[in-house]
Structure 1
Amino acid sequence: MKLITLAAVAAITFTTSAFGNESIIPVSQEIKDTTVNLRDKAIKDDSAYEILKSLTTEVGARHPGTPGEKAGIEWGVNKLKTLGFDKVYTEDVKMNGWLRGIETAEILLPSYQKMVITTLGRSKSTPKGGLEAEIVHFKSYADLEKATDGSLKGKIAFISKRMEKFKDGAGYGPAVIARSKGHELAAQKGAEALLIRSIGTDDHRNPHTGSTNVAMGYTAVPAIALSNPDADQLIRLIDYGHTPKIRLNVQTQDLGPIVTKNVIGEITGREFPDEVVVIGGHLDSWDLGTGAVDDGAGVAIAMATAALIKNNTKERPRRTIRVILWGAEELGLIGARAYAKARQEDGTIANHVIGSESDFGAGPIYGLQSSSNVSDNALHVIDTMASLMGTLGVSRRSGDTTGGPDMIPLSKLGVPALKLMQDGTDYFDLHHTPDDTFDKVNPEHMRQNVAAWTVFTYIAAEWPGSFK
């Protein structure tokens, strides 16, 4: 990182730290006043909502390897330029492409009924024409673990664990292992396929797709998610004493090696241009909806935040604000891992001052959390951010954070992170479903998000001290 200039040092009042001879650099009144002005402008600004409308309407779904993804990348570059970013560029991300095709499911016995399913990421196909077999019910991934290896030969493993609904999405972790690793376990037990209750909290007849732990190639057996009402139907049949026989037909396509992109826009810092504050969201989406809450909202919030700061301050912040629209997040943080690896290789990882990603929908922000590696001498800055977000309904929260999914690779390399905690009570009703569309987004909540993100981003870029 660059050293603070003598002029900057002269303008700063230092106080002695309780932790030794180090000094605490306060957040100046000028920074606070500018931040309040920006916050108050943001709460009346619909730029993020309009950006999201454009993305979801003029582009739509953005699954890697599709024309929609290519259109999304072009849209991102053009929109950043239109918003006046100083520098706009892309970085190639190599990956293996995969597409879904036919998806049908039916209960054959004891009573006929069509079911609503979707394939999970990188699922292999069933045989042409489909697969017919009885299901064996397991209430959880842990219960499937207890089955004897090879005991499910000729059967379909069905995991029915329902995700619990929490404001902070805490039910996701305990449930999602069935989606990510269940296919391997089902194959180990001899099953012909894996069928899971969707990892979601709704009762709509919309299945939830999502990634598995396969980066290339295919899952060990076909891996399929069932809508929650259809999962309940199977359980009721079992409770009546029946052993349902079903037919599954999913056909998928491996595209082989493809190249997607991270799209990056910068507002160049006036004093420390090589030091960067990272904000962003992931540009890709699943193909079932239009990727509005996951993660078009985060993309729009980050873009609008940086543009608002640029257009409403007398001079640029000290540091560079780097907006990253990560690629291929849904298939395993592929763009984020590529970005972190590139920064390691070019030696600029140390220039990443602090970062955060918006990737939990478009609900209002209620808390501000910092990572455990934020310096004790910088915690007062985070407290100041939370204080200035107080009028927005945000309070300081304890705990640790990586700053969002795409921040995980940077966090592992030591980059400090903040989490702007959103109310995700209904997020997993929409997550990875056809219902992830623009009409689900509240413009008032988008304004509140941008106001909170503006407080964090401006102070992080303008305060001259170190967060590390």
Structure 2
Amino acid sequence: MRRLAVAIAALLATSGALAAEPTSIPAKSLAAAAQLREQALADDTAWKVTESLTTEVGPRMAGSEADARAVAWAKAKFKALGFDKVYVEPVTFPKWERRGEQAQVVGANAQPLHVTALGGSPAGTVEGEIVRFPDLAALKAAPAGSLAGKIAFVDYQMGKKRDGADYGIGGAVRSRAPSEAIRKGAVGFLMRSAGTDSHRVPHTGITRFDEGLTPVPSAALSSPDADQLARLAALGPVRVRVALDCGWDGTATSYNVIGEITGRGKPKEVVVIGGHLDSWDLGTGAIDDGAGVGITMAAGHLIGQLKQAPKRTIRVVAFANEEQGLYGGKAYAEARAKAGELPVHQIGAESDFGAGRIYGFNTGSGNAEGSREATRQIAEVLAPLGIEYMPAKGGPGPDIGPIAAKGGAWGWLAQDGTDYFDLHHTADDTLDKIDPKALAQNVAAYAVFAYLAAEADGGFGSEAKATVPPSE
């Protein structure tokens, strides 16, 4: 009988452990977060940080001399902002360089075209008749061998949308169409830029070539030049010459730069926020992603200025080489998984969609049901910022994606990206395009989110478990 009683008691104890209390946030913490929100709205730290990065370093392509200067800048900035602990973690990747690019229509209608090489393109000069396709599907449907000796031109036009949904299509053209063109026999590839502006500035971005294919020179046209080429093609055959001086040049090592505000009660558990430190080389990387670095550094700094540190550690990461393949995010996730740190990763969020106002919020993970109440509580403190709780939407940011795929919980703070793709990956990505008040609203949102996630009684569902997180 005694053995049975002991067994029943053990079973009840186990059941109690399994039926853990839902995650929630103390009222005192909610009140402190509301004060933090108002303080952040009046603070200009994010603007100063973004101004410093884009002015003192400027464009910082992964693996470049400027990238190394950006790493040194980030270490110094974290220290100047009062972070308790500042350190770096190495990230190694293939190095791609741009040295020069030009294109022109040749023949009776000879004229220059404004282009930029796609990241990953090889160098080379090609000349041939263009064949225009309205989208990737049309290129895929072209007969085998029909582009022999010709240059494929995919003319897909992205539309403006708050959530940037059309980038999924435009980005697919950039990443997949060059390989499709090669399979059809093309000697070169052109695309209308993956953007929504009408300026004569082309948009760059990384492309990939499928294994077994010989890469061909691949470039993006500015929207006005794509329009011009389409009009010429409607009149009859058009020949174009594309000359690119670019390509892969060995490997390079950069660094994830990390700053921490140490937690008072559970310092080994971390809330992660961040942006990526690298940029493309055409502009100064203000909206992509100087703003994200500025927003999250400022949020961590403001939390660090509180009289009492949050319960958990706030970790701000300036990720390396996001642009060419999420190398920093992947390295960060691999290191945490190897160290068995997934369970102490409370939650993570990345700011990498410009500097437009945040309009929506949600959290998620492979095991997030117990944290719905805490998410709702955070949403209530965010509401005065004009941010709506959207419980069925969202996903992790690019560099948070790899750790989310390993079971890490994610936060989603949705920025208004209506105009983001006017500037994305172009020479127009400069500081003057950022609205300081919108930037401050982002800081307020990230500060509230990070602080309250760190203060929560309970977790947001992080566990070492392979999963497929939703896209944003």
Q: Which moved more, 1:175-184 or 1:404-413?
A: 175-184
The reply to whether residue 287 of structure 1 matches residue 285 of structure 2 is no
Mapped contact 1:369–1:418 kept (Cα < 8 A): yes
In the other structure, the counterpart of 1:369 is: 362
Question: What is the CA-CA distance between 1:121 and the residue it aligns to?
Answer: 0.7
Structure 2 CA distance for aligned equivalents of residues 326 and 25 of structure 1: 29
Aligned to 1:443: 436
| 2:399 counterpart of 1:406 | yes
Whichever residue aligns with residue 77 of structure 2, its letter is K
Kept after mapping to 1: 8 A contact 2:274/2:297: yes
Aligned residue type for 2:87: Y
Question: How far apart are the structure 1 equivalents of 2:274 and 2:214?
Answer: 30
Indicate if the aligned counterparts of 2:365 and 2:408 stay in contact, CA closer than 8 A: no
Query: SS of 2:310's equivalent?
Result: coil
- Which of 297, 309, 323 in structure 1 is aligned with 2:291? 297
How has the CA–CA distance of structure 1 residues 351 and 326 changed in structure 2, closer, same or farther, with 3 Å as cutoff? same
Aligned equivalents of 1:215 and 1:140: distance in 2? 19
Where do 1:276-355 residues align within 5 Å?
276-311=270-305, 313-355=306-348
Cross-structure match for 1:44:
42
- Tell me the distance in 1 between the aligned counterparts of 2:256 and 2:279: 13
State whether residues 318 and 464 of structure 1, in contact with CA within 8 Å, keep that contact through their aligned partners in structure 2. no
Matching residue of 2:167: 172
* AA in 1 matched with 2:161: F
CA contact (8 A) 2:50 2:291 kept: yes
CA distance in 2, matches of 1:100, 1:286: 10
Ranges in structure 2 where 5+ consecutive residues have no aligned partner: 1-17, 462-472
- Per the alignment, residue 418 of structure 1 pairs with 411
- 2:131–2:152 contact (8 Å) kept in structure 1: yes
Q: What SS does the aligned partner of 1:229 have?
A: helix
For 2:160 and 2:241, how far apart are their aligned partners in 1? Answer: 31
Match of 2:123 in 1: 125
Q: Partners in 2 of 1:226 and 1:260 — Cα distance?
A: 30
Look up the equivalent residue of 1:239 and give its one-letter code.
Answer: A
Amino acid in structure 2 at the alignment position of 1:461 = A
Report the AA paired with residue 408 of structure 2.
V
- The aligned counterpart of 1:3 is none
1:70-122 deviation per Cα after TM superposition (whole angstroms, max 9, x unaligned): 11000000000111111101111111101011210111134111110000011
Q: How far apart, in 2, do the equivalents of 1:34 and 1:168 lie? A: 31
Q: Secondary structure at the match of 2:400?
A: helix
8 Å Cα contact 2:60/2:279 also seen in 1: yes
Question: Which runs of structure 2 are paired with 1:378-389 in the superposition (5 Å)?
Answer: 378-389=371-382
Provide the rounded CA distance (Å) in 2 between the counterparts of 1:398 and 1:109.
57
Tell me the CA shift for residue 314 of structure 1: 2.1
AA aligned to 1:192 is: V
RMSD of equivalent CA atoms: 1.8
Which of 245, 248, 264 is 1:251 aligned to? 245
Aligned partner of 2:71 among 64, 68, 73 = 73
Tell which deviates more after alignment, 445-454 or 251-260. Answer: 251-260
Q: Structure 2: which amino acid aligns with 1:146? A: A
Equivalent pair of 2:23/2:459 in contact (CA under 8 Å): no
Tell me which residue corresponds to 1:191: 186
Q: 1:24 aligns to what SS in structure 2?
A: coil
1:159 aligns to 2:154 (yes or no): yes
Using structure 2 for the length normalisation, give the TM-score: 0.92
Instruction: Pick closer, same or farther for the CA change 1:368–1:374 going to 2, 3 Å.
Output: farther
What secondary structure sits across from 2:100 in the alignment?
A: strand
SS class of match (2:325): coil
Partner of 2:3: none
Matched, 1:225 2:220: yes
The DSSP-based 3-state class of the residue aligned with 1:405 is: coil
Partner SS for 1:220: coil
**1:160-219: CA deviation from partner (whole Å, max 9, x where unpaired):** 011121001011102211101111111111000110000000000000000113599997
Give secondary structure in 2 for the equivalent of 1:425. Answer: coil
Residues 97 and 258, structure 1, Cα contact 8 Å, conserved in 2: yes
Runs of 4+ in 1 over 4 A off after TM superposition: 214-219
| Counterpart Cα distance in 1 of 2:209 and 2:344 | 32
CA distance in 2, matches of 1:256, 1:217: 20
Identity in percent: 46
Which segment drifts farther, 58-67 or 200-209?
58-67
The SS at the match of 1:335 is: helix
1:231-262 CA distance string (max 9 Å, x none): 0011111223x111111100113220111111
Residue 349 (structure 1) shift: 2.2
Amino acid at match of 2:120: R
Change (3 A) 1:465 1:219: farther
User: Please, which of 129, 132, 142 is the counterpart of residue 134 of structure 1?
Assistant: 129
Are the counterparts in 1 of residues 263 and 310 from structure 2 also a CA contact under 8 Å?
yes
CA-to-aligned-CA distance 1:390-419 (integer Å, 9 cap, x gap): 111111013343320111101101111111
Tell me the distance in 1 between the aligned counterparts of 2:107 and 2:408.
Answer: 55
Contact 1:371 1:399 in 2 (8 A): no
Q: Mean alpha-carbon deviation: is it higher for 207-216 or for 40-49?
A: 207-216
SS in structure 2 at match of 1:163: coil
Counterpart of 1:456 in structure 2: which amino acid?
Answer: F
The 1:416/1:75 distance shift into structure 2, 3 A limit, reads: same
The answer to whether the 8 Å contact 1:92/1:261 transfers is yes
Per the alignment, in what secondary structure is the counterpart of residue 34 of structure 1? helix
Tell me whether 1:55 sits opposite 2:27 in the alignment: no
